[in-house]
Amino acid sequence: MYQTGMLCKHFKGANLIEKNIYQIMDINVDPRSLDFSKVTYSGDNDVMSATDLILYANIFQDNKLFVREESDISSELDEEKQKLYGQLHHLLNKKLGSYQHKNLLVKNKLICKLSKIDRTNIC
């Protein structure tokens, strides 16, 4: 469902400016490979026993990296939250338009960090 480089929006927030936009940095991440002084686990389970971890970054906040199980990220919201936020899943993966990027070095890997989104093409 998710692919490296994909942009996703979080369900919370009244409008797109208030929503967090994330970029998928890596999928099927081994928790033993992560530096938890730089990455925040946002799930509810034991991270070291997780098998379907996704590493994602907040595109509006430098150095904000998170990891969570794909099953949590792709889960459906309860009916009340769906009505309130107008979104079916925890993270919605949609094309969000063109963007420019700046490069960051994270764990000796070059990754793209988005710095500007063309908000005219947002779902």
Instruction: Express each pLDDT in 56-105 by its tens digit.
Output: 998 877 778 999 999 988 888 999 988 888 888 888 775 444 333 333 33
Alpha helices in the chain, H assignment, sequence order = 70-73, 79-85
Please report, to the nearest 10 degrees, the dihedral formed by the alpha carbons of residues 112, 59, 27, 88 taken in order: -150
Pairing assessment for the beta strands 7-10 and 91-93 based on DSSP bridges = antiparallel
> What residues have CB less than 8 Å from 27, skipping those under 6 apart?
2, 3, 4, 54, 55, 70
Q: Measured over all CA atoms, what is the biggest interatomic distance in the chain, rounded to whole angstroms? A: 42
pLDDT tops 50 at residue 116:
no
- Residues 56, 71 contacting (CB under 8 angstroms): no
3-state secondary structure of 101: strand
pLDDT by residue (tens digit) across 42-51?
888 899 999 8
Of the candidates 72, 70, 89, 73, the residue with the CA atom closest to the CA atom of residue 81: 89
pTM of the prediction?
0.70
pLDDT by residue (tens digit) across 14-39?
666 667 788 899 999 999 999 999 99
Give 59: exposed, middle or buried? Use CB within 10 Å, 0-12, 13-18, 19+: buried
